[in-house]
Amino acid sequence: MKRADQHDMVKVLKVLHKCKRFSVFEATGNSTIASMMNKLDGPYFERTGGSYPWLTVELTRKGLLLIGESVPDLPLPPPNVIDGKFGATKV
C-alpha cells in the first residue's frame, strides 16, 4: 500500500478483508502501518491464526460495517421496549 493509504482505516481494512492475512514484517516495517494495525486490532479485526510471519485475520462486525460490507442481522429487541428517544432501548 502507498504510505498515504496506510493512514486510511477504511483502505487498510478493505485490504485486510480481501487478503485475510498480513505479514508481521510489513506491519512493523514502518511506523505508519504499525500504528494503524495497533489501532485496528481488536475493535475492527481479530487474529484468527496463521504461522509466523503471516497472521490470518477476520474483520469484526464493526470492521465490516466501516467498509460497507453486509453483516448478519442482529436480533431485534422485543416489542414495546423502544422508548422513542434516538431509538434507544430500555434495558
pLDDT tens-digit series, residues 1-45: 898 999 999 999 999 999 999 998 888 888 999 999 999 999 999
How many residues in the chain? 91
Predicted model pTM: 0.75
DSSP output for 2-28: -TTGGG-HHHHHHHHHHH-EEEHHHHH
For residue 51, tell me if it sits in a domain.
Answer: yes
* pLDDT over threshold 80, residue 74: no
Give the pLDDT score at 28: 81
Show the domain range for 24.
5-66
In the chain, the number of structural domains is: 1
Report yes or no on 82 lying in a domain: no
Would you say residue 75 lies in a domain?
A: no
Does 72 fall in a domain?
A: no
Is residue 83 included in any domain, yes or no?
A: no
* 71 lies in some domain: no
Q: 10 Å Cβ neighbour count for 65?
A: 13
Query: Mean pLDDT across the stretch 41-52?
Result: 93
Q: Looking at the domain assignment, is residue 26 inside a domain?
A: yes
Nearest to 37 by CA among 49, 24, 48, 54: 24
Cell of 24: 508481521
